[in-house]
Amino acid sequence: MAPGPAPKPKEQRRNRNPKLRGEWVDLEPLEAPVLEPANPRWCAAGRRIWEAFRADPVSAQLSSIDVQVLKETMRDWNRLEPSEQRLRLTQLGATPAGRRSLRWRSPVETETVRKAEAQAQVKRLRVVAPEQEQAE
Protein backbone atom coordinates (compact mmCIF):
# COMPACT_ATOMS: atom_id res chain seq x y z
CA MET A 1 0.00 0.00 0.00
CA ALA A 2 1.45 3.33 -1.02
CA PRO A 3 1.74 6.06 1.61
CA GLY A 4 -0.65 8.96 1.40
CA PRO A 5 0.28 12.54 0.64
CA ALA A 6 2.67 14.36 2.94
CA PRO A 7 1.04 16.61 5.57
CA LYS A 8 0.70 20.25 4.66
CA PRO A 9 2.78 22.87 6.47
CA LYS A 10 1.01 24.24 9.59
CA GLU A 11 0.26 27.59 7.97
CA GLN A 12 -1.62 25.88 5.10
CA ARG A 13 -3.74 23.53 7.19
CA ARG A 14 -7.49 24.16 7.30
CA ASN A 15 -8.18 23.39 10.97
CA ARG A 16 -7.15 26.58 12.71
CA ASN A 17 -9.38 26.14 15.76
CA PRO A 18 -7.62 26.83 19.05
CA LYS A 19 -7.06 23.81 21.25
CA LEU A 20 -9.87 23.58 23.80
CA ARG A 21 -7.58 22.78 26.71
CA GLY A 22 -4.66 24.97 25.71
CA GLU A 23 -1.16 24.03 24.66
CA TRP A 24 1.04 21.43 26.32
CA VAL A 25 3.39 22.55 29.07
CA ASP A 26 6.81 20.94 28.96
CA LEU A 27 8.02 20.43 32.52
CA GLU A 28 11.69 21.09 33.18
CA PRO A 29 13.72 19.05 35.67
CA LEU A 30 13.93 20.64 39.12
CA GLU A 31 17.21 22.18 40.23
CA ALA A 32 16.07 22.05 43.86
CA PRO A 33 12.88 20.76 45.50
CA VAL A 34 10.03 23.28 45.67
CA LEU A 35 8.17 21.53 48.49
CA GLU A 36 9.33 21.34 52.10
CA PRO A 37 10.42 17.98 53.56
CA ALA A 38 7.71 15.51 54.59
CA ASN A 39 6.14 15.78 58.02
CA PRO A 40 7.56 12.98 60.22
CA ARG A 41 4.11 12.46 61.81
CA TRP A 42 2.61 11.27 58.51
CA CYS A 43 2.38 7.55 57.75
CA ALA A 44 5.26 5.95 55.86
CA ALA A 45 3.32 5.74 52.58
CA GLY A 46 2.35 9.43 52.81
CA ARG A 47 5.99 10.44 53.41
CA ARG A 48 7.18 8.35 50.43
CA ILE A 49 4.61 9.92 48.11
CA TRP A 50 5.44 13.42 49.38
CA GLU A 51 9.17 12.84 48.77
CA ALA A 52 8.37 11.58 45.27
CA PHE A 53 6.37 14.78 44.65
CA ARG A 54 9.31 16.86 45.93
CA ALA A 55 11.60 15.29 43.33
CA ASP A 56 9.10 15.46 40.45
CA PRO A 57 8.86 18.49 38.09
CA VAL A 58 5.08 18.45 38.63
CA SER A 59 5.63 20.06 42.05
CA ALA A 60 6.77 23.27 40.35
CA GLN A 61 3.29 23.61 38.81
CA LEU A 62 1.34 23.28 42.06
CA SER A 63 -0.37 26.36 43.44
CA SER A 64 -0.55 27.08 47.17
CA ILE A 65 -4.02 25.49 47.39
CA ASP A 66 -2.73 22.40 45.56
CA VAL A 67 0.05 22.09 48.13
CA GLN A 68 -2.49 22.32 50.95
CA VAL A 69 -4.64 19.61 49.35
CA LEU A 70 -1.54 17.46 48.93
CA LYS A 71 -0.58 17.98 52.60
CA GLU A 72 -4.06 17.00 53.76
CA THR A 73 -4.00 13.97 51.48
CA MET A 74 -0.67 12.80 52.90
CA ARG A 75 -1.81 13.45 56.47
CA ASP A 76 -4.98 11.39 55.96
CA TRP A 77 -3.49 8.83 53.55
CA ASN A 78 -4.28 5.72 55.62
CA ARG A 79 -7.86 6.86 56.25
CA LEU A 80 -8.68 7.46 52.58
CA GLU A 81 -10.28 4.82 50.40
CA PRO A 82 -8.04 3.62 47.53
CA SER A 83 -10.40 5.23 45.01
CA GLU A 84 -10.08 8.59 46.80
CA GLN A 85 -6.29 8.24 46.95
CA ARG A 86 -6.16 7.56 43.21
CA LEU A 87 -8.53 10.42 42.42
CA ARG A 88 -6.53 12.97 44.42
CA LEU A 89 -3.20 11.90 42.94
CA THR A 90 -4.66 12.06 39.42
CA GLN A 91 -6.08 15.54 39.99
CA LEU A 92 -2.69 16.78 41.19
CA GLY A 93 -0.90 15.41 38.12
CA ALA A 94 0.89 12.53 39.84
CA THR A 95 -0.33 9.92 37.34
CA PRO A 96 0.09 9.75 33.56
CA ALA A 97 -3.67 10.30 33.13
CA GLY A 98 -3.54 13.33 35.43
CA ARG A 99 -0.63 14.88 33.52
CA ARG A 100 -2.43 14.30 30.20
CA SER A 101 -5.58 15.92 31.57
CA LEU A 102 -3.58 18.94 32.76
CA ARG A 103 -1.56 18.88 29.49
CA TRP A 104 1.79 18.62 31.30
CA ARG A 105 4.65 16.67 29.73
CA SER A 106 7.46 15.27 31.85
CA PRO A 107 11.06 15.80 30.65
CA VAL A 108 11.13 12.20 29.37
CA GLU A 109 7.90 12.69 27.41
CA THR A 110 9.16 16.00 26.04
CA GLU A 111 12.33 14.34 24.74
CA THR A 112 10.28 11.54 23.15
CA VAL A 113 8.02 14.06 21.42
CA ARG A 114 10.99 16.04 20.12
CA LYS A 115 12.59 12.88 18.70
CA ALA A 116 9.32 11.87 17.04
CA GLU A 117 8.90 15.34 15.53
CA ALA A 118 12.47 15.26 14.20
CA GLN A 119 11.86 11.88 12.57
CA ALA A 120 8.55 13.04 11.11
CA GLN A 121 10.12 15.91 9.22
CA VAL A 122 9.17 15.24 5.63
CA LYS A 123 11.40 16.56 2.93
CA ARG A 124 9.42 17.77 -0.02
CA LEU A 125 10.80 16.44 -3.25
CA ARG A 126 10.18 17.93 -6.65
CA VAL A 127 9.96 15.59 -9.58
CA VAL A 128 11.47 17.03 -12.71
CA ALA A 129 11.04 15.45 -16.09
CA PRO A 130 14.27 14.82 -17.99
CA GLU A 131 15.04 17.38 -20.61
CA GLN A 132 13.89 16.34 -24.03
CA GLU A 133 16.41 16.38 -26.81
CA GLN A 134 15.71 18.96 -29.39
CA ALA A 135 15.03 17.59 -32.82
CA GLU A 136 17.49 18.86 -35.34
Instruction: Judge whether 47 lies within some domain.
Output: yes
The span from the CA of 61 to the CA of 92, in Å, is 9
pLDDT at residue 119 is higher than 60: yes
The span from the CA of 63 to the CA of 42, in Å, is 22
**Residue 47: is it exposed, middle or buried by C-beta count within 10 angstroms (0-12/13-18/19+)?**
middle
Instruction: Judge whether 94 lies within some domain.
Output: yes
Q: What is the mean pLDDT of the chain?
A: 87
Which tops the pLDDT comparison, 127 or 6?
A: 6
pTM over 0.75: no
Instruction: Judge whether 84 lies within some domain.
Output: yes
Instruction: Judge whether 130 lies within some domain.
Output: no
Instruction: Judge whether 51 lies within some domain.
Output: yes
User: Quick one: pLDDT band at residue 134, thresholds 50, 70, 90?
Assistant: low
State pLDDT tens for residues 29-66.
Answer: 999 999 999 999 999 999 999 999 999 999 999 999 99
Instruction: Judge whether 55 lies within some domain.
Output: yes
- In terms of residue numbers, what domain contains 48? 36-114
Structural domains of the chain, count: 1
